[in-house]
Structures are given as C-alpha cells and as structure tokens.
C-alpha cells in the first residue's frame, strides 16, 4: 500500500489515468473538504458583499467582521428541530436533498484544477458534466412534490421548467466551445476537460477571445444560462421569499435545508468551473505562450503569495481601524490572529515560489509543488471572480417574472446560441 | 511481458462507473498488480441495481416511487454502457433519458395526480392473463438462451474508447457511402422529433 | 470468477424486458404502463450495445442512440395523449379507458 502511495507522486497523469484508487480517494476527500469550506466562505462573502452594495455593514458581531457567522449558522441549522409534514411521503422527502447533493458533487470528479490535478480525466468529460447537472432537476421536482403543499409544488414545477429550458441553451453554448477545440492541426476536437484547456494552450488563445466576438457571445450565453440553471438572481423567481415563501424548500428545516443550500452553492461553483475551463483557459496563467521566459514564469508564480499578502494587509488595516475600546479587545485579537494566519500562508507561498523557480532543476519536488500550486491558484482565482459576479448580479438587478424568464430562455437565448454555433463553424472552416 | 499484461487489462477507473461507485463505496482492495478484479463486481452490482429498479417500477403503489426506481434503472444501464465501452451512448442516456424524459414523467404524474390513484388497486382486471403471457415470454427467452448459447462467438472485443465519439460522429454525419451510413437516418430522426413536438403541443392545447 | 461475456448482458436485458412486459400487461395506472414501455426500450438498447461490443463495430451503439431519440418522442406524444384524455375523463385507470369514441 505504501508503494502505491509513493508510486503516484512522480507521475503526471490523473489518478484515474494511473488507475490508482488510493490517490483518487485522497483527491475526492480534498475536493469534498475544499468545496465545503468554499461554500461556507461563499456564504459569508455573499452576506458581506450584498450588505456593502446596499450601504450597510452585514454581519459584524459573531466574529471580527462576521467571520464566524457561517459557523454559527451551521450550528444553528444542525440544532434545529427536524420537521416533516405528516402527509408527506417520508422516503421521498428524505431522498430529495440527497439527489440534489449527489448531482452537485459528482460533477467535481472531472473538473481539472491542473493538467493532472483532476480525479479522473474522462474522454466524455463535458458530456458527463452536462448529464449529471441535469440530474439535479430531479431533486427539485421530487422535493416540491414530497412536501405535499401548494407553494412548494408550484415553486418546484416553475424551478424545474426553468432549469430544463436553460439546459438547452447551456448545452449549445458548450457545443460551440467544443467546436473551437477542433481547429487544430489534426482536425479533431475533444470532449475531455483537460483536453479542452490543452487545446486553448496549444492554439495560444483563450476561447473567450477566439473569433472575436463569437467566443464572447457564446461565453455570455453560457453565463446567462448558468445563472438561470442554478436558480440565482435575477432568475430566482422559483425560490424568492417575497413571492413564493421560499419555493421548493419551504417545508424543509434545519439540516435538510442546509443540504439544499449546500447543493445550490456547490452547483454554482461547479458550473462556473465549467465556464472557466471552456472559455477562460482553466488553469493557464495569463499569457502562457506569449510571455514564456523563466523570468515571466517567476513573476507570475509570485501571484499566490502576493494575493494572500494583500488579504493579510487588508485584515491588519481592519484591526487598526477597530475602535480602541475594551469591549472590542477579543475581536481585535481574533482579527489579528486571522491576519497573522493569512500572512503566514503568504510567506509559505512566497517561499515555495522562490524555492521552486524554474531556473533550478525542473524535476525537483519544489518546482513540481510550485507548479501545482500555481495551477490551482489561477483556476480558483477565476472561479472566485465568477462567484463575485453571481453576488454582484444578485445585488444589482431585479428579478424576472416567470413568463419573461421562459421567454428569454426559449425565444432569445436559444436562437442566439444556435446562430453563434453556425457562425463559429462557418468562420472556422473559412479560416483554416 | 508486464506492459502487455497491463495493456490488455481493463482499467476500471477510466470508467466513470468506477468513479461514481467509488464515491459511494469503500476503497477496493489494492493489490500489487492492476488486475481487473473490479469488473465482475461492478457488473453484478449494476445489473442487480437495474433489475431491482425494474422490479420496483412494476410493483409500487405510488407513481413517484416508480419514477424514482426507473431513474435508478436508467442510471445503472448507463453505467453498463460504460462497461461496454460505449461512453457516448452512456452520456446521451443520462442527459436525455434520466435528465429529460424522467422529468417529463414526473411533471405529468404531478399534473394527473388524483388522490385515490395511489390508494387504488395496483393491478388491472386481467392481470392473470398478463402474467401468464409474461411467463410464456420468459420461457421463450430461457429456451432460446439455453439452446443458442454456443451459437455466437463468446469473445469480447475491446473497442477503442478514446475515439468512440469521433467514430459515432463519422457514422452519423459523414458522407453517404462507406463512412457515413446513418446520415439519412439522422435527418429522418430530426424530422421525427419535429413531428413529435408538434403533436404534443397540439394535443395538450386547450383550444387549437 | 467466470469472466463477463456478452451472454451475461443478454440475460440482464432479457430480465429487464420481461419486467417491462409484466408492467405493461398488468398495471392499472397508465403512467406506469408508459414507464414500463421505457423499461422495454432500455432492455433492447442494452442488448444492441452488448452485441455491438461483441462484433467490434459501432452499428449497435448508433442504433441505441436512435432508440433513445425515439423513446423521447414517444414519451412526449404518449404523455400528451394521456393529458388530453385526463382532461376529458378525469381518470388514469386503464380499466376505465376502454372506449374509442364517447
């Protein structure tokens, strides 16, 4: 078992490709932990960002600047009473959040955080992701029906009709991105996620900029479809508190409701990872081909450390700005400790960047480590930008009425996506 | 010798079936070599799931339970397609069948849901005749399998998996003749879908 | 362990087929009859893909794709007929759906 453990460390294929179950399990556990932490961070970030958009402060009490608020929320949800309506179908009521959660988390097996940092690189990666995210609709429909109540049923039917309509536009936008992978020397494209990023690297352009403005229009189509697919504002009619008393998860309380929330945020992260991989170049740093010298490599590899240094600096400024009153002492200490932890991570990353610079021997462990961290960093940075986009749209735009929503999905998005697909094919054939 | 051995084996983790089953099950026993110990295990697990799902479709009172059991069967059959080196058909099955048709079924179940339907009797008036016919059919299958077992070659050719999508695309979209044998059928299938859309819309509209 | 051959897949497909036939012939709820028809179609697709692997070409897989397309169209039209009927007669009981014209 130990040599199975060690034998993978030198390879540069995914654990699925190396047929190594132990490392696949380790990757799955890391992804699970990472997504859970990301969902909690996203919860905090959403409340703070929405608050600042609305010129108020958001949670400030629970930890310094509300940093412990998600933990308090999670504890509260776990300790709440588990209410099941009496006439509800017990088994179906129980299994509905499980279906949604499974569908949201299974997508993560093919998301590439780096050229070999994925659990398994299937050759039908994109098809798998589209299929599994369409299984999430089933969880919602079943949840609404099992609650045996009017508002959840209407909310579930509306929500699933919306998701099914926008899946089509999403799939067609994905097809036009896949089409762009085939404009290479051999003339065949690929459906595997790692292959798509490699073809962006090989063609020297992120697909969002390819055949300008076709890539951009396809990207915008996908972003709109993905926001509708995850039932986020401005397409959140089905779960809007003011219209439908929380829609399909009205009757769910406590831990079951938190499973729905977890699956919604996990689906958001998963679907933005698809967008990042298909259009924004996945794990590639900016200008990977143009600025290829080792000096530029070193400059770009300092970015992770500098980002955390910036975050630590912001946290220290927050400490300095806190009122010097004795009742704020614990919060100051807490925030200072958090800032110190961020600074420590920054120092570690800078050390790794310096130790693993590519002027030293390329096969050294530090260089490999630095490369892995760089790939994951650029990927996570792009996904974080998408998360900010989700929150920004929620704060800024009013929600669509349901018939307007369906009209956009079928009458606006679908023809535009079809047109982009046909134009991409025509331009690709003409150019090559 | 050893590379040849490794090349000739299945690699269960390249199959998404392996990953999916892995996510919900324990680590398979790791031995020194990459023997295909997992393939019969996954086959029996998946076919057991498919048949159990089919059994529950036929025998549950509540139509929603039947729909959920059918979803389990569809996903198990998709994994069986993966074991048969047909990844594209598996993907199409999950996207269209489990993600589209079953949602349609669930919508209709909710639309026509009468309270007394789930408390009604399960089987219709002539169920003995139906059961006898099905048993006759099963007897026919059993006799066909017993007699015809040695008829076809028992080999299992390992189809190339990486180029499966490209080859299906060539068959479906290629020029007519040697390569694209199903182009015409593809166009007819799209016409069929158009007719089905029109028919469904006309039949469910209240006023035409 | 005996290696898994085409025959094993055929047995699974036959079992699904028989279960589907039992569902079509004995259930009372029309929606469940339609679901059993989907079960039958799946059994046939599994059979085809198993044979496609046996012979080493792709005809079975392409046929399976067409079967999936066909099943989608048929499910849509069948459920449309059911909804139209339900609007008129308020029942989904096969024993009561027995008139060609009323």
> Which chain A residue shows the shortest CA-CA distance from B169?
A188
Residue range B39-117 in CATH 3.30.429.10: no
| Residue A208 confidence (pLDDT) above 70 | yes
Stretch B134-162: mean pLDDT, rounded? 82
**Sorting pLDDT into bands at 50, 70 and 90, what band is B50?**
very high
pLDDT of residue A86: 81
Mind listing the pLDDT tens digit for each residue in B66-103? 999 999 999 999 999 998 889 999 999 999 999 999 99
**Sorting pLDDT into bands at 50, 70 and 90, what band is B115?**
low
Where exactly are the structural domains of chain B? 1-35, 39-117, 163-208
Express as a percent the part of chain B with pLDDT over 90. 41
> Which chain C residue shows the shortest CA-CA distance from B127?
C26
Stretch A152-171: mean pLDDT, rounded? 89
Average pLDDT, chain A: 87
CA dihedral sign of residues B114, B116, B118, B121: negative
Backbone angles phi, psi at A259, to 5 degrees: -65, -40
Between chains, do C54 and B152 touch, taking CB under 8 Å as contact? yes
pLDDT of residue A149: 80
Between chains, do C6 and B149 touch, taking CB under 8 Å as contact? no
pLDDT of residue B9: 34
Stretch C85-95: mean pLDDT, rounded? 82
Stretch A156-180: mean pLDDT, rounded? 91
B3: exposed, middle or buried (Cβ count in 10 Å: 0-12, 13-18, 19+): exposed
Tell me which residues of chain B, numbers 114 to 133, contact chain C at a CB-CB cutoff of 8 Å: 114, 117, 120-125, 127, 129-131, 133
Between chains, do B13 and A24 touch, taking CB under 8 Å as contact? yes
| C-alpha pair distances (Å), A373 with each of A112, B91, C80 | 13, 32, 54
What CATH class is the domain C6-89?
mainly alpha
**Sorting pLDDT into bands at 50, 70 and 90, what band is B35?**
very low
Stretch A77-106: mean pLDDT, rounded? 88
> Which chain A residue shows the shortest CA-CA distance from B118?
A89
Mind listing the pLDDT tens digit for each residue in A275-325? 999 999 888 888 877 777 778 888 888 889 999 999 999 999 989 988 888
| Residue A64 confidence (pLDDT) above 90 | no
Within its chain, how far is the Cα of C50 from the centroid? 17
- CB contact set of A269 (below 8 Å; sequence gap of 6+): A35, A38, A39, A42, A383, A387
Q: What is the dihedral of CA A13, A19, A25, A26, to 10 degrees?
A: -40
Stretch B156-174: mean pLDDT, rounded? 80
């Amino acid at each position: 078992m130990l040599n199975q453990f060690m034998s993978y460390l030198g390879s540069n294929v995914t654990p699925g490709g190396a047929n190594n179950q132990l490392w696949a399990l380790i990757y799955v556990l890391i992804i699970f932990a990472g997504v859970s932490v990301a969902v909690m961070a996203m919860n905090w970030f959403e409340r703070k960002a929405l608050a600042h958009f609305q010129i108020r402060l958001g949670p400030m009490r629970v930890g310094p600047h509300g940093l412990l608020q998600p933990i308090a929320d999670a504890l509260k949800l776990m300790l709440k009473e588990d209410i099941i309506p009496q006439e509800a179908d017990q088994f179906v009521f129980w299994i509905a959040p499980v279906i949604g959660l499974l569908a949201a988390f299974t997508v993560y097996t093919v998301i590439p955080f780096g050229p070999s940092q994925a659990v398994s690189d299937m050759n039908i990666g994109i098809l798998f992701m589209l299929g599994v995210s369409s299984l999430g609709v089933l969880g919602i429909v079943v949840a609404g029906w099992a609650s045996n109540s009017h508002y959840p049923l209407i909310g579930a039917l509306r929500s699933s009709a919306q998701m099914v309509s926008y899946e089509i536009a999403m799939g067609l936008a994905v097809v036009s991105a896949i089409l762009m992978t085939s404009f290479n020397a051999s003339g065949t494209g690929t459906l595997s996620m790692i292959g798509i990023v490699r073809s962006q690297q090989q063609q020297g352009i992120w697909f969002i900029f390819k055949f300008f403005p076709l890539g951009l229009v396809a990207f915008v189509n996908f972003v709109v479809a993905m926001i509708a697919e995850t039932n986020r504002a401005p397409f959140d009619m089905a779960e809007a508190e003011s219209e439908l008393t929380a829609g399909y998860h009205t009757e769910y309380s406590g831990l079951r409701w938190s499973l729905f929330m977890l699956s919604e945020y996990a689906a958001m992260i998963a679907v933005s990872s698809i967008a990042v991989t298909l259009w924004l170049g996945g794990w590639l740093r900016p200008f990977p081909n143009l600025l290829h010298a080792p000096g530029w490599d070193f400059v770009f590899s300092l970015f992770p450390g500098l980002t955390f240094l910036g975050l630590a600096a912001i946290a220290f400024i927050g400490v300095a700005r806190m009122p010097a009153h004795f009742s704020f002492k614990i919060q100051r200490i807490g925030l200072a400790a958090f800032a110190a932890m961020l600074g420590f991570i920054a120092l570690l990353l800078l050390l790794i960047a310096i130790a693993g610079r590519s002027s030293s021997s390329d096969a050294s462990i530090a260089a490999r480590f630095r490369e892995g961290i760089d790939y994951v960093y650029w990927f996570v940075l792009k996904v974080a930008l998408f998360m900010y986009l989700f929150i920004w749209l929620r704060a800024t735009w009013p929600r669509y009425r349901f018939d307007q929503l369906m009209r956009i999905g079928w009458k606006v998005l679908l023809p535009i996506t079809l047109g982009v697909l046909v134009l991409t094919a025509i331009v690709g054939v003409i150019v090559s | 010798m050893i590379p040849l051995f490794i090349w000739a084996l299945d690699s269960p983790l390249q199959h998404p079936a392996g990953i999916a089953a892995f996510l919900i099950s324990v680590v398979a026993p790791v031995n020194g070599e990459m023997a295909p110990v997992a393939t019969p295990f996954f086959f029996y697990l998946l076919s057991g799931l498919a048949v159990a799902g089919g059994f529950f479709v036929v025998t549950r009172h509540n139509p929603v339970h039947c729909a959920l059991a059918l979803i389990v069967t569809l996903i198990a059959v998709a994994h069986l397609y993966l074991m048969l080196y047909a990844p594209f058909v598996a993907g199409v099955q999950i996207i269209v069948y489990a993600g589209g048709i079953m949602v349609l079924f669930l919508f209709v179940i909710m639309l026509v849901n009468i309270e007394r339907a789930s408390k009604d009797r399960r089987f219709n008036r002539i169920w003995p005749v139906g059961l006898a016919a099905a048993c006759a059919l099963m007897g026919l299958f059993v006799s066909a399998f017993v007699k015809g077992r040695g008829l076809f070659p028992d080999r299992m050719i390992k189809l190339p998996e990486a180029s499966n999508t490209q080859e299906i695309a060539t068959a479906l979209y290629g020029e007519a003749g040697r390569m694209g044998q199903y182009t015409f059928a593809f166009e007819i299938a799209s016409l069929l879908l158009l007719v089905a859309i029109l028919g469904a819309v006309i039949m469910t509209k209240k006023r035409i | 362990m005996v290696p898994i051959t085409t025959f094993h897949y055929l047995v699974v497909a036959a079992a699904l087929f028989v279960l589907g036939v039992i569902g079509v012939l004995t259930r009372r709820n029309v929606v469940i009859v339609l679901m059993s028809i989907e079960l039958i179609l799946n059994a046939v697709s599994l059979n085809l893909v198993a044979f496609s692997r046996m012979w080493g070409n792709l005809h079975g897989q392409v046929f399976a794709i067409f079967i999936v397309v066909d099943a989608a169209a048929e499910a849509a039209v069948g459920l449309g007929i059911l909804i139209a009927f339900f609007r008129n007669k308020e029942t989904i009981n096969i024993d009561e759906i027995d008139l060609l014209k009323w």
